[in-house]
Amino acid sequence: MKTYTYKKSQELFKKAAEVIPCGIYGHFSPAPLIPVTDYPFYIDKAKGSRFWDVDGNEFIDYMCAYGPMVLGYNNPLIDAAAEEQRKKVNCGTAPARVMVDLAQEMVNTVDIADWAFFAKNGADMTTFSLMVARAHTGRNKIIRLKGGYHGTAPWMQSPDHHGITFNDNKDIVMGEWNNYEALEKYIHEHKGEVAGIISTPYHHPTFADNELPAKGYWKKVEALCKNEGVVLIIDAVRTGFRLDYGGSNEYFDFKPDLIAFCKAIANGYPISSLVGTNEMMNAASNVFHTGSYWYSAEPMAAALATIRELKRVNAVEKMFETGTKLGNGLIELAKDHGYNMKMSGHPAMPYFRITDDPSLMLHQKWCGECTKRGAYFTSHHNWFMSAAHTDEDIAETLKIADEGFKAIKE
């Protein structure tokens, strides 16, 4: 099987590094792509479940733009809805009608939602959720969980990171995933001080197996929050519309007060949303939070079309199915080659790890070998399935994975 090279990607990166800090910054940084020489840096075009890099190499994409792509790249239906709105107005002096339609769709779709607020990125909404929780409770402290990611605003980062101070984290308290007792203890010991708890619905850190909630965990957290007047915030930026149309909390059978959405909400068009219960609406109204492009109508039209299309094509069920097929296939293949492959998390966002080498070096090598044969796998992060991934994609991926296993043995 032919392996790819990335001459043009490398050249472009060198140019980029002269005029862009880091060349490629943030979550697209090449640094966690290991071995870095096995990965493309720049994309040329994309369609369906695949993308082509600037060197002309074709990949079946299991990162889906790190989540936003959920119905396939350049989905004609979504693009047509966006284009129709763009022709009318995108960024205007007042909101477009589609904003109301989208809010209504969110309220109709997400079980706990009585209202919806829109912005651009996940972090806009996780930050807003903290402001709403504080406005609602009149309290300062927010509990977040170790290993949880909610964006890059100063409150979300550790104070040892560049540009962050200990003051930025003054009212942020670290809890631990699945440790209800510690949460309860802290909240009881700090009665009347905790405004909110923010967490992903299941634990999907990087460089570690993903963890589902322990039996009864969320029900207990929900009850604790209700009893203590703490706002329960779910960061569904990654999980939203991949686990359940009604909110990924529904998949785990509990009801938060606020849910932050982004990524899969508009199939790649820039929009995020915070939804909440009636009880939170007054606080959400009182908090002033806005941005130059938060009223852009084109992404709203794309989001409206995406949510409807997700339901129409049974995307959640499809992603579960293809993710499970992929996982089972990889586990079986690994076994045939004498390795143990572990799949954790939810099948629509699986995290894979070859457990034979805890340092991850073997797993990294395998992911790199697969990527340079056309199946884009990262080794540090959960992958993303989309409704555009087909059985043919899975079959082709397993062939590539087989070659990858052969390559790491050599």
Partner 1 sequence: MSYQLIKAGINLYAIFKNLEDLIALDEESRNLIKGKKISIQFLVKNGPKAWLQFENETCKVGQGIMHNPSVKLWFKSPEHLNKMFDGEANPIPLKGFTKLGFLQKEFVKITEKLEYYLKPEKLENPSKEYIEINTRFTLTVAAFALPEIVKYNREAKLSASHIPDGKIQLWVLPNDPAVFLTVKNGEISAQKGTTEKPDAIMEMKDYQTANNFLNGKSNPFLAIAIGDVIIRGQTNMLDSLSLILDKVQNYV
- Does position 167 bind partner 1 by CB under 8 A? no
Residue 373 CB, nearest distance to partner 1 (Å)? 19
- Does position 3 bind partner 1 by CB under 8 A? no
- Which tokens go with 406? 């052969």
- Does position 314 bind partner 1 by CB under 8 A? no
Nearer to partner 1, 23 or 329 (CB): 23
Task: Tell which one of 5, 8, 28, 35 touches partner 1 (CB under 8 A).
Answer: 35
Residue 359 CB, nearest distance to partner 1 (Å)? 4
3-state secondary structure the chain: CCCCCCHHHHHHHHHHHHHCCCCCCHHHCCCCCCCHHHCCCCEEEEEECEEEECCCCEEEECCHHHCCCCCCECCHHHHHHHHHHHHHCCCCCCCCHHHHHHHHHHHHHCCCCCEEEEECCHHHHHHHHHHHHHHHHCCCEEEEECCCCCCCCHHHCCCCCCCCCCHHHCCEEEECCCCHHHHHHHHHHCCCCEEEEEECCCECCCCCCCECCCCCHHHHHHHHHHHHCCEEEEECCCCCCCCCCCCHHHHCCCCCCEEEECHHHCCCCCCEEEEECHHHHHHHHHCCCCCCCCCCHHHHHHHHHHHHHHHHCCHHHHHHHHHHHHHHHHHHHHHHCCCCEEEEEECCEEEEEECCCCCCHHHHHHHHHHHCCCEECCCCCCCCCCCCCCHHHHHHHHHHHHHHHHHHHC
Nearer to partner 1, 321 or 357 (CB): 357
Task: Tell which one of 1, 3, 27, 37 touches partner 1 (CB under 8 A).
Answer: 37
Task: Tell which one of 361, 390, 403, 407 touches partner 1 (CB under 8 A).
Answer: 361
- Which tokens go with 407? 């390559």
Where in 169-228 is the site for partner 1 (CB under 8 A)? 206-207
> How far is residue 382's CA from residue 405's CA, in Å, rounded to a whole number?
20
Task: Tell which one of 5, 32, 246, 324 touches partner 1 (CB under 8 A).
Answer: 32
Per-residue mark of binding to partner 1, 139-158 (x: CB under 8 A): -------------------x
Lay out the sheet containing 115-119: strands in order across. Answer: 115-119, 272-276, 258-261, 231-235, 194-199, 141-145, 172-175
- Does position 23 bind partner 1 by CB under 8 A? yes
Applying CB under 8 A, which part among 23-31, 72-80, 248-256, 335-343 lies near partner 1?
23-31
Task: Tell which one of 108, 160, 215, 288 touches partner 1 (CB under 8 A).
Answer: 160
Applying CB under 8 A, which part among 60-68, 135-143, 159-167, 263-271 lies near partner 1?
159-167
- Does position 29 bind partner 1 by CB under 8 A? yes
- Does position 278 bind partner 1 by CB under 8 A? no
* Residue 380 CA neighbour count, 13 Å, CB half: 12
Nearer to partner 1, 36 or 43 (CB): 36
Applying CB under 8 A, which part among 32-40, 78-86, 133-141, 382-390 lies near partner 1?
32-40
Residue 56 CB, nearest distance to partner 1 (Å)? 20
Number of residues located near partner 1, criterion CB under 8 A:
30
Task: Tell which one of 93, 108, 292, 359 touches partner 1 (CB under 8 A).
Answer: 359
- Does position 364 bind partner 1 by CB under 8 A? yes
Task: Tell which one of 212, 224, 313, 360 touches partner 1 (CB under 8 A).
Answer: 360
Applying CB under 8 A, which part among 30-38, 107-115, 277-285, 311-319 lies near partner 1?
30-38
User: Applying CB under 8 A, which residues contact partner 1?
Assistant: 10, 13-14, 17, 22-24, 29-32, 34-37, 41, 158-162, 166, 206-207, 358-361, 364, 380
